[in-house]
Amino acid sequence: MSKLEDIVSLCKRRGFIFQGSEIYGGMAGTWDFGPLGVALKKKIMDAWWKYWVEDRDDMYGVDASIIMNPRTWVASGHVATFADPLVECKNCHGRFRADKIADGITESVTTTEFHNLHIKCPTCGKEDWGDVRKFNMMFATRVGAVLPDDTGEIADKSIAYLRPETAQGIFTNFKNIVDTIYPSLPFGIAQQGKAFRNEISPRDFILRDRECSQMEIEYFVHPSDWETQFNKLLKENHYFLENIMGLPASHLHDYEVPANDRAHYSKRTVDFMFDYPNSTEELMGLAYRTDFDLQNIAKESGKSMEYRDKNTGESFVPHVIEPSIGVERLFLAVLSSAYTEDEIDGSARTVLRLPENLAPYRFCVSPLLKNKPELVAKAREVYQKLRTKYGNVTWDDSGNIGKRYRKQDEIGTPKCIVIDFDTLEDNTVTIRDRDTAKQIRIQISEL
């Protein structure tokens, strides 16, 4: 199994991920995706969209605003319940999530339960804790040109929030989509986009950060049909993760979340747990949200969320099943699954065995020697043809050919194509396979 520090080092060295605002000393819980990281991230998101939306006739997409009417988060319960247990060390004043620095406790831990565990502060080593308090993780902001009043106070009505999830943008558009598209049940609405959570203690690289991208579906079903659809979505998510994302089935585990640990809206939740380099953590969740969200929107807005069945004429508020996954968590799962250290011809190498559909570059084209104009010209010709056909093709003429191979192995390029002097004679090129390091010669026309 790969080590997290090895993956972090590779991401920095090869331009996948950088610390956010690194030039100014960084900012905890924020990360910037470099050229190769952007390419991999986009391929992951595009593959998800194709699998769940473009290849199906029961899914529809939306792209809702990040800043929404604050009543959204009152109706959803986030204002009242979206909180983590915060505990502060009285000695060094470090603040931590109580359930993450002690084993065997949950988010509902009380002050007495926490103190009875006799946990030492991870920073200073003292055991001098304050009370466990609930810390709301939504980022508050102010909307409009707001000025203080005569007392110096700013009106609360100007407060809005950066969305902590993309789901509510789907729910608030449910009526719009039913009125314009009028899809037949069951149907889903999908969204990809940014979400923001003011994590108390972001950690483990991109696994727990303050700004992330989410991919979520709200799948609307008849109340009597939820169990059938839940089990179907469970299988379809496994297929996506294992066959489209290339995650090993042995590293995926279904965890049936007990009632006392489920979100306030859920009647059943299965968390997909994944064996990351440091620990087994949640990769995604599949939750049966009943009609909680639509009923709350109806109460808060005063507008009906009922759906009228085309065939039976029955009117009811649909129930919802939600597959939700964080892009960064999936990104790290893909990287850690692909990261390999092996030996080729007695020489150690690092290789990313990424699925070909996810690799940032499909091919790397190189002239055998960069100081031979005739080889460079022919290589450029091949490069342009492949780039026109496939798009994600890179060029490399730095260093000797062995170093180029090692670099491309490390960034996950499946095939390297080399133009040599034989190419000028017979129009054949050498293709080297990333995983086996085997080489064959084929005609350029066969590429």
Listed residue (63, 391, 61, 53) closest to 240, CA to CA: 53
Retrieve residue 245's tokens.
């994302």
* Statement: residue 388 has pLDDT above 70: yes
Q: Buried (b) or exposed (e) across 413-444, using 16+ Cβ within 10 A?
A: bbbbbbbbeebeeeebbbbbebeeeeeeeeeb
Q: Provide the β-strand partners of residue 23.
A: none
Distance CA 351, CA 97 (A): 36
How confident is the model over 215-233, as a mean pLDDT? 97
Q: Answer whether the bond into residue 373 is a cis peptide, omega within 30°.
A: no
* Statement: residue 154 has pLDDT above 60: no
Retrieve residue 236's tokens.
């379809």
- Lowest-pLDDT range, 32-36, 103-107, 112-116, 151-155? 151-155
DSSP string, 348-409: EEEEE---TTT-S-SEEEEES-TT-HHHHHHHHHHHHHHHHHHS-EEE--SS-HHHHHHHHH
Q: Which residue has the tokens 């994944």?
A: 274
Task: State residue 400 phi and psi, 5-degree precision.
Answer: -80, 170
Residues 163 and 198: beta-carbon distance below 8 Å: no
What confidence score (pLDDT) does residue 149 get?
60
Q: Which residue has the tokens 């899914």?
A: 59
How many Cα neighbours within 13 Å face the side chain of 225? 13
Distance CA 142, CA 340 (A): 47
Domain 361-446 fold: Rossmann fold (3.40.50)
Distance CA 343, CA 348 (A): 4
> Model's pTM, two decimal places?
0.88
Q: Which residue has the tokens 């780039």?
A: 387
Q: Helices (H) and strands (E) in the chain — how many of each?
A: 13, 23
Q: pLDDT class for 24, splitting at 50, 70, 90?
A: very high
Retrieve residue 262's tokens.
């489920």
Using one digit for the tens of pLDDT, what is the confidence trace for 258-283? 988 787 788 899 999 999 998 899 99
Q: pLDDT class for 331, splitting at 50, 70, 90?
A: very high
**H-helix or E-strand containing 319?**
strand 319-326
Mean pLDDT taken over the chain: 91
* Statement: residue 242 has pLDDT above 80: yes
Instruction: Give how far the C-alpha of residue 13 lies from the chain's centroid of Cα atoms, to the nearest Å.
Output: 21
Give the domain ranges of the chain.
Answer: 4-68+165-335, 361-446
Distance CA 269, CA 279 (A): 21
Listed residue (391, 434, 398, 402) closest to 416, CA to CA: 434
How many Cα neighbours within 13 Å face the side chain of 38? 6
**H-helix or E-strand containing 429?**
strand 428-433
Q: What superfamily would CATH give domain 4-68+165-335?
A: Bira Bifunctional Protein; Domain 2 (3.30.930.10)
Q: Which residue has the tokens 């390091």?
A: 437
How confident is the model over 236-250, as a mean pLDDT? 97
Residues 441 and 419: beta-carbon distance below 8 Å: no
| Sign of the C-alpha dihedral computed for residues 356, 361, 362 and 365 taken in this order | negative
**H-helix or E-strand containing 374?**
helix 373-390
* Statement: residue 153 has pLDDT above 60: no
CA end-to-end span of the chain, whole Å? 35
| Sign of the C-alpha dihedral computed for residues 355, 356, 361 and 363 taken in this order | positive
* Statement: residue 9 has pLDDT above 90: yes
